[in-house]
Structure 1
Amino acid sequence: MASLTLNPPTPSLSLSRCFPKKPTISCSFTSQSHKCKREYTSVMIVPTGIGAAIGGFAGDALPVARALSSVVDCLITHPNVLNAAMLYWPMPNALYVEGYALDRFAEGLWALQPVHQNRVGLVLDAGIEQELQVRQLQVADAARASLGLPVVEYIVTDTPLKVEKWVDPETGQSTGRIKHPDSLLRAVQTLMNRSKVNAIAVVGRFPDDDTDDVDDYRQGMGIDLLAGVEAVISHLVVKEFQIPCAHAPALAPLTMSLSLSPKSAAEEIGYTFLPCVLAGLSNAPQYMVMHSESTDKGCIVARDVDSLILPKDACGGAGTLAFARNGKNKPLIIAVEENETVLDDTADKLGLEVLHVSNYWEAIGVIAAHKAGIDPYSLRRNKILNIGCTPCMPVNGHSISRERAIS
């Protein structure tokens, strides 16, 4: 395990945007309390379509996000963590950030601007059958009437998207493409121009699988065959328009299984996967290109991140590498051993300095200590050794000890 140096948080004036009405530096003095610390921000990543033991199924990393959000002041994570098909859980201090945007944020190219509300537009694939399309529209109306979500208009693409999916033979992760990406981009552009939407939900018609092809997934094993190309679709929109986007697949219902894994069950309790997407997009942060006029108006930037938590063998993503190479503003990076994936991008192979923990219980404990300004190793038995001594700089070719230097 690489050695870990815990640096005190770098002063910043931007984390308070998770709570716009609250000042960044909160200093209150009473007879019973003394609080003067900046807010603590953590990023949680579980990459899509890589068979993660936790987070590789139907929102099964959401309990981790809920627990983590109760410890940190601001949690930044992505749809794969927060989406659970028909289920979702509102967390006021969690930011729903699409994966491509999260990478650009980590690289310092984009900033996140929290909002109170987005105008959400819905794009439906022209390849969706009439009855299945009606089901999607009923979800949108239910979200508007029962949750008050600002889903303002929908559009059907002028050409079927023709979604294709497969498993990458080299990495073992799911991926894919859409044969008519221009049709999707035209639909998004029309909604933006006509209805002034600033967040996009996409529903693409996915090819139906034989039950045998998805049986492992329904049993809580293997990889999500849909997830990889879902990321391709949302990446395309976010890269082109710099607005929040998430995808929900349209599929014919599967026959009922009597031995369904709880990790996969959220996808089997309704006709669509759209509810969690509309809930997440309704107040997802806007993406601001750095150095634009808006980046100083209540934005969160990469240097505000205090910690990053991710699976042990999924450390090779662009966002993780950017955080790891962030110089003096590098966050504490925590790799969770229990969360295995089909990848083999470990910190050791990539030469990254991380803190390895056994499970998410330990990870959240480490983050609680880090937030409190405590060396996590001081909570373990015999992990704090005698303090070391660093020699002073050489003088005329001879190093001098610290004792001699101050005598």
Structure 2
Amino acid sequence: MAAALMSPTPFFRRFLTQRSKPTISCCSHSFKFKRQYTSVMIVPTGIGAAIGGYAGDALPVARALSTVVDCLITHPNVLNAAMLYWPMTNTLYVEGYALDRFAEGLWALQPVHQNRVGIVLDAGIEEDLRLRHLQVADAARASLGLPIIEYIVTDTPLEVEKWIDPETGKSTGRIRHPDSLIRAVRNLVNRSKVNAIAVVGRFPDDDTDDVDDYRLGMGVDLLAGVEAVISHLVVKEFKIPCAHAPAMSPLTMSLSLSPKSAAEEVGKLWIANNFIFGGSMTLEFGN
């Protein structure tokens, strides 16, 4: 379900002072607080979590939890299973940076109907791979009726870098040209009035040895950490939802694939789920 995220209003601030734990409704009426029980489900990204550290393997847990709460608030690492997902009407899908601000009491959530989605494509993506992503966007518009308004190519390749932190063992990374991403998003927001962003960055193709453990259900997702870095950058700067999909060459077939990571094999253009979720992610406004 979609939600809007904004600075607490004076009423909301009074409400926060009157009760020890703020609640939020999954209904479409803002600040009614009709629901009695709200739960937040978080699975940290890129740390090799036993449940949720792979390709949407926390989704069954989220589905179960959603049946015993009035409103479930969670994030992409829980609900994204590459090309697979499961819609839940009482669940709010919130990008990680926005979820942090909500947990701090700085932003509030309000359900919304739909977002206008803009696409940012990394200039480092090869022409044929770029075309395939645009064809997925066309499919999402034609078959799902999603409001994908416009796409833009960054003026400079983002140059995504990823690695495992030797001290913590978690995946992380950076983009060498974050200003190029910021300029592209700003152009979309100003020109087309989009209020949700799908970013596709060209990721380095993995050596088989680097991903063998992950595909066997024992390692860390090498992509997850820097994907979070990218989406956090956009949400922090523009206070609108952002989801990221990596553009990569497909890996060779594995004969010993863990079910926990098998969703990655359904398709090699992960952007489709971002369109589905981007159209219904929280709309974010900062303080």
TM-score (norm 2): 0.89
Q: Deviations over 1:289-327 (max 9, x none)?
A: 34xxxxxxxxxxxxxxxxxxxxxxxxxxxxxxxxxxxxx
Residue 136 of structure 2 corresponds to residue 139 of structure 1 = yes
Partner amino acid for 2:28?
P
Residue 211 of structure 2 corresponds to residue 214 of structure 1 = yes
CA distance 1:107–1:12, shift in 2 (3 Å) = closer
Residue 234 of structure 2 corresponds to residue 237 of structure 1 = yes
Unmatched tracts of structure 1, length 5 or more: 1-9, 27-37, 291-407
CA distance 1:65–1:237, shift in 2 (3 Å) = same
Q: 1:195 aligns with which of 192, 197, 201?
A: 192
CA distance 1:23–1:148, shift in 2 (3 Å) = same
Q: Could you say which residue in structure 2 is the equivalent of 1:15? A: 24
The whole-number CA distance in structure 2 between the counterparts of 1:276 and 1:62 is 14
The whole-number CA distance in structure 2 between the counterparts of 1:45 and 1:86 is 21
Q: Deviations over 1:101-127 (max 9, x none)?
A: 111111111122321000011111010
CA distance 1:176–1:22, shift in 2 (3 Å) = closer
Contact 1:208 1:252 in 2 (8 A): yes
The whole-number CA distance in structure 2 between the counterparts of 1:101 and 1:156 is 25
Q: Deviations over 1:229-266 (max 9, x none)?
A: 00000110011000101111011011111111111111
Q: Give the secondary-structure state (helix, strand or coil) at the position aligned to 1:95.
A: strand
Residue 92 of structure 2 corresponds to residue 88 of structure 1 = no
Q: Could you say which residue in structure 2 is the equivalent of 1:370? A: none
Q: CA shift at 1:271, angstroms?
A: 2.4
Q: CA shift at 1:11, angstroms?
A: 8.9
| Fraction of identical pairs, as percent | 77
The whole-number CA distance in structure 2 between the counterparts of 1:62 and 1:110 is 25
Contact 1:41 1:75 in 2 (8 A): yes
Residue 133 of structure 2 corresponds to residue 125 of structure 1 = no
What is the count of residue pairs matched by the alignment?
A: 270
The whole-number CA distance in structure 1 between the counterparts of 2:229 and 2:33 is 39
Q: Give the secondary-structure state (helix, strand or coil) at the position aligned to 1:15.
A: coil
Q: Give the secondary-structure state (helix, strand or coil) at the position aligned to 1:228.
A: helix
Partner amino acid for 2:24?
L
My pick for the range that moved more, 203-212 or 65-74, is 65-74
Q: Give the secondary-structure state (helix, strand or coil) at the position aligned to 1:261.
A: coil
The whole-number CA distance in structure 1 between the counterparts of 2:179 and 2:71 is 36
The whole-number CA distance in structure 1 between the counterparts of 2:198 and 2:254 is 29
Q: Could you say which residue in structure 1 is the equivalent of 2:13? A: none
The whole-number CA distance in structure 2 between the counterparts of 1:93 and 1:167 is 35
The whole-number CA distance in structure 1 between the counterparts of 2:31 and 2:225 is 39
Q: Could you say which residue in structure 1 is the equivalent of 2:14? A: none
Q: Deviations over 1:139-186 (max 9, x none)?
A: 111111212211111111011000001111111100000000000000
Q: Could you say which residue in structure 2 is the equivalent of 1:148? A: 145
Partner amino acid for 1:106?
A
CA distance 1:145–1:212, shift in 2 (3 Å) = same
Residues 2-401 of structure 1 correspond to what in structure 2 (within 5 A)? Answer: 10=19, 15-16=24-25, 18-20=26-28, 24=32, 38-290=35-287
The whole-number CA distance in structure 2 between the counterparts of 1:288 and 1:209 is 36
The whole-number CA distance in structure 2 between the counterparts of 1:195 and 1:73 is 35
CA distance 1:256–1:25, shift in 2 (3 Å) = closer
The whole-number CA distance in structure 1 between the counterparts of 2:78 and 2:33 is 30
Q: RMSD across aligned C-alpha pairs, in angstroms?
A: 1.9
Partner amino acid for 1:119?
R
Q: CA shift at 1:14, angstroms?
A: 6.0
Q: Deviations over 1:64-92 (max 9, x none)?
A: 11111121111111111111111111111
Q: Give the secondary-structure state (helix, strand or coil) at the position aligned to 2:285.
A: strand
The whole-number CA distance in structure 2 between the counterparts of 1:152 and 1:176 is 30
Unmatched tracts of structure 2, length 5 or more: 1-18
TM-score (norm 1): 0.64
Q: CA shift at 1:21, angstroms?
A: 5.2
Between Structure 1 and Structure 2, whose CA radius of gyration is higher? Answer: 1
